[in-house]
Structure formats: C-alpha cells, structure tokens
C-alpha cells in the first residue's frame, strides 16, 4: 500500500516536473516568436530613406526660352500568353510552378497578379504595352521631368528610388512620377496577390519599372528641343464618359492639353493629355495586360483616329503622355455607363476592348479638335516651384497591418506615419498642383458637403477649392503623383459609422482605401500655404 502510494506520488511528481519543463520551453518559444515577430515588423516598417526631403523653392524670375523632350519606354511585364484550361477558357488562378503551354513552348507558370479589383487575378496575356512616358520641360534655368507610369500606383519610397537612378548629367531640377491607375496591369503596391495579405509585387518587375522610369527621363532630356507650347482645353466635352459613384456629384472632367512643337522645324515633339477617370473601363473580368482607355487615347492622338482600317482624322505624331486628375469619390466609366462609338453611334455598355477603344477615340477626337485652335501659345516662360515633403498619419488599421507585415512594401517615418509629397508650380500661364493619391474632385473644384450622418460634426475643412487658389490661367491637377496613398476624402464627408450620409443604409466605398480622415485636411492646408507662397 505504502509502496503503491509512493509510486503514484513519484509518477505525479515526475509528470509535474515534465509539465513544468515543457511549459518553460513553450514559454521561451513563445517569447522568442514574439521577439522575432517584433523584429520582423520593425524591419518591415524601417524608414527606407531616413532624412529624405524633396523640399524645393524656386522663384520665377525672368522668362526663359522653353524646351521640351519626350520619351516612351515599355514597362510591359512578361506574361505567358493566353493561358487556358482544357476547355479553352481563360484560367483565373493558376499556381506558381504549374506548367503551361505557350504556343509550342512549355514552361513554368509565374503569375503576374493584376492589381485593382480583387485578389488572385493572374494575367493571361498582353493586349497592349504598358509604358513609362516622360515629358521634360526646361526654361534655361529650371528643368522639370514628368513621368507617367501605366501602373495602379507607385509609392513614395519607390519614387525616391527612381530619382536616385536618374543620372546627374540629366540636370533635372525636380522629377514628378505619377501613375495612370490602370486596373489592368501588374500589382506594384502589394495589395493584390493571390490571397489578401499576400503581396502581388514581383520584385524583378518592380526593378524593371524603376530602371525604365529613370531611363525614360534621361532619354527625354536627350530628345529636348527648343519648343513652342500650344495650350488648349475642352472643359465639357468628356462629361458623358464618367460616372460619379458616390455623392456629392462633383467631377473633374475637363480635358486640358499641351502640345509641344519644335520651334525650328515645326515637328510635333509630343503632347500632355490631362483628364480624370479611373482607368478601369475593361472592369474586373479582363485578364489581359492593358493600359485601358489611355492606350487608345494616346495612340489615336499620335497616329490618328481610325474607323476600322480607314483613317478618319490624322494624328499629330510625337509621344502622347496621359495624366490622371482627381479620380476619387469615385470617377469611373462604370460597367453601367454606356460609351458611344464615335462613328457608328452604337452604345457600348458591356466592358470590353471595343468600349475602351470607343472611349479613347472619343477623347482623341476632342483633343485633336481642341488642339486645332489653341487658346494660347507660349515659347518663353518663367518657372516657379514649391515642393514639400509631408509626414502623414496612417490611421487605417488594414494599412497599418499591411505595412507591419510587409505586404505594403513601404517604410514608416515614426510610429504609423509615412512620408509623402506635394508640389505646386507655374510655367508662365500654366498652373499645376500634384497630389499623392486619389483626391475627391470636390476638394479640387468645390462642392465639399457636410451631410447629415457624417462621422465628425465639422463643417467643410477643405475650402476654398484647390483650383480657385491656383493663379495660372490653365490649371492642371496631377493625382497619384509621387505616391499612391489611396483616397483623399473631405473630412466632413467621412462616413464609416451609422447613421450614414445621404440616407444610405450602409457605409459608402472609399474610407477602407484611405489613410484616414485627417489626410484631406492636412494636404489641403499645405496646398493652401504653398499656393499662397507661389503667388507671392
Ligand atoms: Zn482608385
């Protein structure tokens, strides 16, 4: 009996000791994991460019002779062509490592994830090339480079990386890099991988884009010629081609153009085409890489507008550069909005290349028509410029998690803060303002509201409208410029909590893709100060 009791006690004690040792090891392992996790998050959130500031202040001075240079370099990804299943249907989510048949060749499928609608959209072929298109403007004392990428967006750290690669000999005072926001190109932000929270960015492709963007600047500088700038506008013609999917209904649908003509021989060097619409006319079912309607717009301005094989109106030649404006809140050629074929008059509603083509051709017809009678022609100008690096708070929990997990490959500057950038500049009668994300048009053109049901009790903060504060005669807005921080939403329209604005029964789309409610007030306040200073 005693022996049995002793034995049982020994077993219990022994088990207890085992348990104690096990818990100790488990505790240490958990602690180690937590430390590793913190170190990992910390390295993901490390400032990639400590101390970096793009800040510049250049006063206009005496007008100098204008020059312009253009370049277009492809940034098309490598995509196995027309990846289909046994029934010849486009395959949606092939796995990495799966073999494919591309024409006669066999290979291993390395998916290119298309950004913009949802996760797990592997590209299935190339419809048209993506580009880094650059216009360089110079007046003898200041040289500006404006680069547009056919991309969903490009973050400030990546932009700084491109700037560092531009050769010093190019002599560029300031480089602006914007994205068209195509929803039919590779992920460059990290949000559209195979699964949520799995980055869709291919590092080699990102590197290729950076190399090409920097090269496009150097090439545009080499192509520089003394130029005459023909400025034209069509403020109303393109209104029927955009839908506003969130109240209040305010658009940024004016078309603005600069045609740069060689002063010596009259040859067209290129053109800058500015409008505001999400490049997503092809919508979410398309799996072919394309720049969407800008492809047809640019090509028609350069080479002419065709009906089938017949040339209807000649193009102007040169390199056309398309830049997007205030596309937030949300400017889109929605799948419910029909686009008219400019020749047959056929209404095309269903998203398709035919629809994107009709839209691009319509835009080109408006552009070519406006360019025939320029509102003003200049060949000398003074250039004044103010650039500010800003630190913005990241309030969005998903963005915080994404950054900590390295899905959004962007460093932070301080606890949950990120670096971004604003610029304002005047070139003679031309005024420009750049914003780092998708601004709601009411911030730019006026009409910010304070509807019942809003989350904060404030009255409109982002007043007066940015365009009203710009002093030039022709006012260009470049959005997604030098960053892509998502939607820039007026604070008095911020609406996450019930009751909702405009008698909605649910929260509107937008806030989940915004840094937070303070973004718009901070950007507007800075723009106001900068535009005031620029006008002095
Ligand atoms: Zn967008």
Question: CB neighbours of 497 closer than 8 A, spacing ≥ 6?
Answer: 455, 507
Q: Looking at residue 493, what is its pLDDT?
A: 98
Which whole number is the average pLDDT over 308-317? 97
Residue 452 CA to ligand 1 center (angstroms) comes to: 25
Strands (E), 263-410: 268-275, 305-307, 310-313, 319-324, 331-332, 339-340, 347-348, 376-378, 380-381, 383-393
* 394 Cα to the center of ligand 1, angstroms: 18
Tell how far the Cα of 215 is from the centroid of ligand 1, in angstroms.
27
Q: Helices H, strands E: what count in the chain? A: 9, 26
Mean per-residue pLDDT of the chain: 93
> pTM score > 0.75 for this model?
yes
> Which has more confidence, 41 or 145?
145
From ligand 1's centre to the CA of 480, what distance in Å?
9
Q: What is the pLDDT of residues 16-47, one digit of tens each?
A: 788 888 889 999 999 999 999 888 888 888 99
Going from the Cα of 477 to the center of ligand 1, the distance in angstroms, rounded, reads: 16
Between the CA of 328 and the centroid of ligand 1 the distance, in Å, is 6
Q: Between 302 and 196, name the one with better pLDDT.
A: 302
The reported pLDDT for the residue numbered 21 is: 86
> What mean pLDDT is predicted for residues 440-453?
98
- Which pLDDT value is given to residue 105? 42
What pLDDT was estimated at residue 120? 85
Q: How confident is the model at residue 58 (pLDDT cuts 50, 70, 90)?
A: very high
CA of 332 to the centre of ligand 1 (A): 9
Average pLDDT in the 375-380 region?
A: 98
The DSSP result for 116-156, as a single string, is: SS-S--B---BSS--EEEEEEEE-SS-EEEEEEESSS---H
Which pLDDT band, with edges at 50, 70 and 90, does 88 fall under? low
Identify the bridge partners of residue 99 per DSSP, sorted by sequence position: 108
For 298, the 3-state DSSP assignment is helix
Partners of residue 68 on adjacent β-strands: 137, 225
pLDDT in tens, 93-138: 555 455 544 443 445 567 899 999 999 888 888 999 999 999 999 9
**By C-alpha distance, which of 535, 526, 328, 338 is closest to 441?**
328
Question: What is the CA(118)–ligand 1 centre distance, in A?
Answer: 12
The Å distance, Cα 181 to ligand 1 centre, comes to 7
Q: Is the pLDDT of residue 368 over 70?
A: yes
The pLDDT, as a whole number, for residue 107 is 53
Greatest alpha-carbon pair distance for the chain in Å reads: 115
CB burial of 443-473 (b: ≥16 within 10 Å; e: otherwise) equals: bbbbbbbbeeebbeeeebbbbebbbebbebe
C-alpha distances out from residue 474 to 287, 336, 337, 490, Å: 38, 32, 29, 24
Per-residue pLDDT tens digits for 214-253: 999 999 999 999 999 999 999 999 999 999 999 999 999 9
Cα angle value 520/526/530 (rounded, 5°) = 140
């Amino acid at each position: 009996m005693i022996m049995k009791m002793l034995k049982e006690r020994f077993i219990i004690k022994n088990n207890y000791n085992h348990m104690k040792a096990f818990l100790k090891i488990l505790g240490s392992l958990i602690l180690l994991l937590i430390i590793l996790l913190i170190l990992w998050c910390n390295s993901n959130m490390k400032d990639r460019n400590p101390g970096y500031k793009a800040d510049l202040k250049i006063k206009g001075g005496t007008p100098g002779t204008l020059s312009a240079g253009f370049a277009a370099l492809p940034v098309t990804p490598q995509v196995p062509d027309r990846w289909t299943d046994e029934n010849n249907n486009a395959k949606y989510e092939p796995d990495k490592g799966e073999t494919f048949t591309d024409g006669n060749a066999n290979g291993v499928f390395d998916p290119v994830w298309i950004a913009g609608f949802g996760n797990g959209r592997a590209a299935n072929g190339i419809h048209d090339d993506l580009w880094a298109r650059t216009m360089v403007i110079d007046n003898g004392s200041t040289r500006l480079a404006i680069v547009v990428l056919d991309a969903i967006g490009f973050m400030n750290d990546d932009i700084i990386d491109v700037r560092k690669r531009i050769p010093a000999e190019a002599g560029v005072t300031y480089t602006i890099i914007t994205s068209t926001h195509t929803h039919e190109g590779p992920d460059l932000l990290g949000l559209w991988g195979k699964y949520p929270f799995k980055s869709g960015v291919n590092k080699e492709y990102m590197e290729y884009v950076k190399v090409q963007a920097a090269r496009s600047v150097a090439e545009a500088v080499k192509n520089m010629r003394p130029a005459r700038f023909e400025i034209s506008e069509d403020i109303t013609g393109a209104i029927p081609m955009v839908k506003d999917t969130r109240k209040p209904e305010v658009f940024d649908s004016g078309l603005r153009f600069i045609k740069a003509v060689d002063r010596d021989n009259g040859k067209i060097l290129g053109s800058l085409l500015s409008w505001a619409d999400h490049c997503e006319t092809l919508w979410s079912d398309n799996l072919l890489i394309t720049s969407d309607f800008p492809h047809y717009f640019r090509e028609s301005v350069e080479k002419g507008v065709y009906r089938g094989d017949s040339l209807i109106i000649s193009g102007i030649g040169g390199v056309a550069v398309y830049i997007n404006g205030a596309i937030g809140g949300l400017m889109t050629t929605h799948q419910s909005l029909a686009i008219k074929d400019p020749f047959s008059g056929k209404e095309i509603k269903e998203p398709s290349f035919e629809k994107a083509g009709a839209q691009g051709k319509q835009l080109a017809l408006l552009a070519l028509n406006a360019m025939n009678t320029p509102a003003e022609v200049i060949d000398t100008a003074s250039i004044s410029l103010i650039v500010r690096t800003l630190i913005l708070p990241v309030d969005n929990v998903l963005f915080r998690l994404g950054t900590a997990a390295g899905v959004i490959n962007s460093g932070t500057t301080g606890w949950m803060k990120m670096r971004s950038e604003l610029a304002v500049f005047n070139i003679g009668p031309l005024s420009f303002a750049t914003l780092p994300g998708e601004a709601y048009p009411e911030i730019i053109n006026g009409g910010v509201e304070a509807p019942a049901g809003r989350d904060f009790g404030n009255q409109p903060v982002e007043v007066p409208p940015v365009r009203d504060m710009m002093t030039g005669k022709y006012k260009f807005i470049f959005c997604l410029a030098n960053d892509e921080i998502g939607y820039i939403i007026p604070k008095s329209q911020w609406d996450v909590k019930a009751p909702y604005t405009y008698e909605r029964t649910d929260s509107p789309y937008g806030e989940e893709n915004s840094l937070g409610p303070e973004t718009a007030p901070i950007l507007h306040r800075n723009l106001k100060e900068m535009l005031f200073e620029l006008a002095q």
